[in-house]
Amino acid sequence: MRRINTRDFRVATRTTSREINRRIALNLIREHQPISRADLARRMSVTRGVVSVLAHELIEQELIYEGATGETARGRKPTFLHIRTQDRMAIAVDVRFSKTYLMLCDFSGRQLALEIYDTIFAIPQFVKDLAVRVRRMLKTQGADGSCEGMGVVVPGMVDHRTGLILNAPALGWRDVAIRDQLAAATGLPVQIENSGRASAQAQLWLEREEAAGTQSFIYVSVSDGVGVGVVVNGELVRGHDHIAGEFGHMPLSLDGPRCMCGMTGCWEAYISNLATLSRYFGWNLSKLSSNSLRGAGPDSFTVLDLVARARGGDAKANTALQSTARFLGLGLATIVNVVNPDSIYLAGEVTTAWDLIEGTVREALAERALTTAAARTPLRVVSTHEYPRLRGAAALIAAPTFAAPRVA
């Protein structure tokens, strides 16, 4: 049940209902492709005639295409419908404290080219350099004409509508407007979003099988910082001032370790890669300033190395991982008690040790979750090989095609 907003609505017309049916068809095709018109009609509980009209309109809009012919016992052979993704391109950019990742991909998130380079912190240079790289990549790949936009994700809070980066502590960026500059320099439409939220969008829009069943979920990405995306009833929760879902900065303890945001005891300060490494090396995060926190951590030794040592029998490495796992589980319990999602997706380097830490995470979750059912919330690990944050950046460009039109 949803209340109609009498201050912001669009009156439904015949065009609206057709548009909604087209989007329903489009999403069913995306989930079940290749799919015949007859099968689509069955799934939509409408006649073949209605589906033929919808399919015709979607083909005209160049959102789907007709593929191979299927087999049938008798009568005319059906042609299958597919989503048009292969020749629709997007540029995806993931800006992190350590490196910037730049990818050219198609609308399904399939990688066509990838560049990884040291992040530039000065804004004018960042924009100039990125624009040069993007233009070069499009040219080299012959994608000048087919690229429909550029999605950029950052570790921080973003006003998605204006593209203003409100606060990205890891980058030292506050109230930074780069969207229009990037658009002008590349000639592409640009979307900017928080990396955790964008990853949640990708989970919602680019994944086919399991994600289709989950409408309310949490996406937690643990890396340099902690990014969280909250999806409720198929929609990303942004909040009144664009900071909803910033669970990374919920305090686990008021006198805990120092966080990049300037406070102490945030969840992020307990579970980030830096937190895990500092446990292993015995660094004292509380003694570091925010600036030196950003610079701390040797490039040469990462959480992946730590995981390798734990697997090799290094007890200290295992203890550091288990400690992170316990805090991860405790934080997840709070999220479960607040949002009660149908599942939680976990991404980041530490999840490569899932077989070592799953027990500890689940135990901590069960300890604080308020009901038995909540304690059993499914935890799904997202493979780090697929660059989930880049897929999130791509989803900023690809997903609007599939979204339901907004009416009352």
Pairing of strands 190-194, 147-154: parallel
Could you say whether residue 249 binds Zn ion (CB under 5 A)?
yes
The CA-atom distances, in angstroms, between 329 and each of 272, 379, 384 are: 13, 10, 20
Selected binder of Zn ion within 192, 261, 347, 394 (CB under 5 A): 261
Selected binder of Zn ion within 190, 220, 259, 306 (CB under 5 A): 259
Q: Taking the complex as a whole, how short is the minimal distance between the CB of residue 259 and Zn ion, in angstroms?
A: 3
Q: Taking the complex as a whole, how short is the minimal distance between the CB of residue 111 and Zn ion, in angstroms?
A: 32
Only one of the segments 38-46, 89-97, 200-208, 258-266 lies at the binding site for Zn ion (rule: CB under 5 A); that segment is 258-266
Which residue number, 83 or 170, has a Cβ lying nearer to Zn ion?
A: 170
Only one of the segments 6-14, 118-126, 244-252, 275-283 lies at the binding site for Zn ion (rule: CB under 5 A); that segment is 244-252
Selected binder of Zn ion within 55, 202, 266, 357 (CB under 5 A): 266
DSSP at 74: S
The encoded tokens of residue 50 equal 């209605």
Residues 36-65 that bind Zn ion (CB under 5 A): none
Asked if 361 and 335 count as a contact pair (C-beta separation under 8 A), the reply is no
- Residue position matching structure tokens 């509508």: 161
Which residue number, 124 or 262, has a Cβ lying nearer to Zn ion?
A: 262
List phi, psi (to 5°) of 281: -90, -5
Which residue number, 36 or 272, has a Cβ lying nearer to Zn ion?
A: 272
Which residue number, 263 or 288, has a Cβ lying nearer to Zn ion?
A: 263
Residue 94 in 3-state DSSP?
A: strand
Only one of the segments 145-153, 180-188, 264-272, 380-388 lies at the binding site for Zn ion (rule: CB under 5 A); that segment is 264-272
The encoded tokens of residue 83 equal 């989503």
Could you say whether residue 353 binds Zn ion (CB under 5 A)?
no
**Site map (CB under 5 A) of Zn ion, residues 195-234, x = contact:** ----------------------------------------
Only one of the segments 98-106, 148-156, 254-262, 331-339 lies at the binding site for Zn ion (rule: CB under 5 A); that segment is 254-262
Stretch (H or E) spanning 317: helix 315-339
What distance, in Å, lies between the first and last C-alpha atoms of the chain? 13
**Site map (CB under 5 A) of Zn ion, residues 106-145, x = contact:** ----------------------------------------
With 0-12 CB in 10 A as exposed, 13-18 as middle and 19+ as buried, what is 6?
exposed
Strand order in the sheet with 64-69: 35-36, 79-83, 64-69
Asked if 276 and 324 count as a contact pair (C-beta separation under 8 A), the reply is yes
Q: Taking the complex as a whole, how short is the minimal distance between the CB of residue 263 and Zn ion, in angstroms?
A: 5
Could you say whether residue 30 binds Zn ion (CB under 5 A)?
no
Which residue number, 285 or 353, has a Cβ lying nearer to Zn ion?
A: 285
The CA-atom distances, in angstroms, between 253 and each of 263, 272, 370, 385 are: 11, 16, 20, 33
Compute the distance between CA of residue 146 and CA of residue 87 in angstroms, rounded to an integer.
Answer: 7
Residues 296-325 that bind Zn ion (CB under 5 A): none
Range 111-147 burial, b when 16+ CB lie within 10 A, else e = eeeeeeeeeeeeeeebbeebbebbeebbeeeebeeeb
Which residue number, 151 or 156, has a Cβ lying nearer to Zn ion?
A: 156
Q: Which residues bind Zn ion (CB under 5 A)?
A: 249, 259, 261, 263, 266
